[in-house]
Amino acid sequence: MNHVWALTGGIACGKSTVAEVLLRRGWGIIDSDEIAHRLMEVGAENWQKVIDAFGRNVLKQDETIDRRLLGGLVFHDSQQREKLNAITHPAIRRVWQEERDRFVKDKPTNFLVVVIPLLFERKLDREFSQIVCVGCSQTTQEDRLCSRGLNASQALARMGSQWPVPEKMKLANVVLWNEGTQDVLGRQIDCFLNGVSRDKK
């Protein structure tokens, strides 16, 4: 499946931004975070499992899972985080694999990218022959997370739950460095796409 790429990188490095650009350029996109949200909706596959594991105190009044509260529980406790991962990750993986296989069958010549933040941490890189990693500095990661409403401690806990960005970059086929403007990132993506187009020929 040479037309199927994985897209990974550190938290707040810009994976979603890159995926949106690729979508506009005609690529198919499968986002494992979006799948995770779907599977945690009220009544969905992982919703009851999370309640059973963490209690109903993780629910909001409308029965939806309070993701910020749950994040506060798991990002400061590796055992709790692994408990959540053991519940959610198998189902998420099954869904994106099914969607990937269906896309390849229906559109065998089209390019597809599967966005997986914990690609290397969960040893999912072996599922792909081509990997793009989006990176930026730790300071920028922290600043971006704090701009989303987290405090410094919360931001560092989320960053610490993943591999350091340089380690991910070393294992990728292509690296996009998202430290500057959107225009700079866009030019990097253009270079990437031009290279992919040449390889396709």
CA-to-CA dists, residue 124 to 7, 89, 94, 114, 115, angstroms: 11, 11, 12, 11, 11
Convert the pLDDT of each residue in 11-66 to its tens digit. 999 999 999 999 999 999 999 999 999 999 999 999 999 999 999 999 999 999 99
Residues 67, 75 contacting (CB under 8 angstroms): no
Q: Report the first-to-last Cα separation within the chain, whole angstroms.
A: 16
Compute the mean pLDDT over every residue in the chain, rounded to the nearest whole number: 94
CA-to-CA dists, residue 110 to 41, 97, 155, 197, angstroms: 30, 17, 37, 11
pLDDT at 97 over 60: yes
Residue 9 main-chain phi, psi, to 5 deg: 150, 180
* Residue whose token pair is 């694999």: 97
pTM above 0.85, yes or no: yes
- Just give the CATH number of 4-200: 3.40.50.300
Convert the pLDDT of each residue in 83-94 to its tens digit. 999 999 999 999
Task: Show me where the domains of the chain are located.
Answer: 4-200
Burial class (CB in 10 A: 0-12, 13-18, 19+), 21: buried
Residues 67, 149 contacting (CB under 8 angstroms): no
Q: How far, in Å, CA of 89 to CA of 48, rounded?
A: 15
